[in-house]
């Protein structure tokens, strides 16, 4: 957007033939930049440029960068579809968190922010209320909020790990190859077993592509196994 010369009055956007800026347009642009670059890889100045405005316009409509980031998280969480209440509580959370992973992976960097701070109370209310109610109905009682926090935080942390590894692909491949080199070490049976699993990833593109979804699903289901045991203790 051009800067007015000294002594020249700035023209309004409408007078300049530019569309009006709204909070929704600012957040729309921030979400697009997050999809393209990752949540931490764009500046407020770049966001302003994306909507053809000055950074002050972003401040006026939404706030500082932190406020914009919070709005992006709220937008992402708002897209999450809640599972059918007819599912048992374990499968309800598997479906919820699998859907959450898909959303967060489309918006790199949001998972780490979600794990640390979460979205606004307003944005999270529908999901949190339903999730904790599912756990209350299952019999977790006063531990329902703790169980919900463990499940959602674990999901976000695993997606954040996946995002980080995408940013360091060369290092990840080097480590995988080094681990794979231990696959025949009889003196280190634990390393050998791990090395064989890493060799499978190197030799099978389909297994490599499916590794993180399988790891995520394994982590969520083992958390649910632990909570199922805890539920038995609470109701025993």
For residue 21, the Cα-to-chain-centroid distance in whole angstroms is 28
Contact 132, 126 (CB under 8 A): no
> Is 81-167+204-235 in the same CATH topology as 1-78?
no
Q: Give the C-alpha distances (Å, rounded to integers) separating 211 from 13, 27, 157.
A: 50, 33, 16
Question: Looking at residue 19, what is its pLDDT?
Answer: 72
The structural architecture, per CATH, of the domain 1-78 is Orthogonal Bundle (1.10)
How far, in Å, CA of 222 to CA of 216, rounded? 10
Domain residue spans of the chain: 1-78, 81-167+204-235
What is the third-level CATH fold of 81-167+204-235?
Answer: Tetracycline Repressor; domain 2 (1.10.357)
Percent of residues, the chain, with pLDDT higher than 90: 78
pTM of the model: 0.86
How do the pLDDT tens digits run along the chain, 236 residues long? 444 444 444 445 554 556 789 999 999 999 999 999 999 999 999 999 999 999 999 999 999 999 999 999 999 999 999 999 999 999 999 999 999 999 999 999 999 999 998 899 999 999 999 999 999 999 999 999 999 999 999 999 999 999 988 877 666 778 889 999 999 999 999 999 999 999 998 898 888 888 899 999 999 999 999 999 999 999 88
Q: Using a CB cutoff of 8 Å and minimum separation of 24, what contacts does 125-132 make?
A: 126/82, 127/77, 127/80, 127/82, 127/96, 130/82, 130/85, 131/93, 131/96
């Amino acid at each position: 957007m051009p800067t007015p010369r000294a002594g020249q009055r700035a023209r309004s956007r409408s007078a300049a033939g530019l569309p009006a800026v709204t909070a929704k347009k600012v957040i729309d642009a921030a979400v697009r930049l997050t999809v393209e670059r990752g949540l931490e890889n764009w500046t407020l100045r770049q966001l302003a440029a994306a909507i053809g405005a000055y950074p002050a316009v972003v401040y006026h409509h939404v706030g500082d960068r932190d406020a914009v980031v919070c709005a992006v998280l709220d937008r992402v969480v708002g897209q999450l579809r809640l599972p059918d209440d007819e599912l048992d509580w374990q499968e309800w959370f598997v479906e919820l968190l699998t859907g959450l992973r898909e959303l967060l992976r489309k918006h790199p960097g949001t998972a780490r922010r979600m794990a640390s701070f979460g979205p606004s109370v307003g944005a999270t209310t529908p999901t949190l209320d339903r999730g904790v109610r599912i756990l209350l109905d299952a019999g977790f009682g006063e531990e329902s909020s703790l169980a919900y926090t463990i499940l959602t935080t674990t999901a976000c942390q695993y997606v954040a790990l996946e995002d980080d590894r995408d940013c360091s692909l060369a290092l990840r491949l080097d480590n995988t190859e080094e681990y794979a080199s231990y696959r025949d070490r009889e003196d280190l049976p634990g390393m050998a077993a791990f090395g064989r699993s890493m060799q499978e990833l190197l030799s099978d593109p389909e297994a490599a592509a499916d590794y993180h979804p399988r790891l995520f699903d394994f982590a969520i289901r083992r958390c649910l196994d632990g909570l199922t045991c805890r539920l038995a203790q609470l109701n025993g």
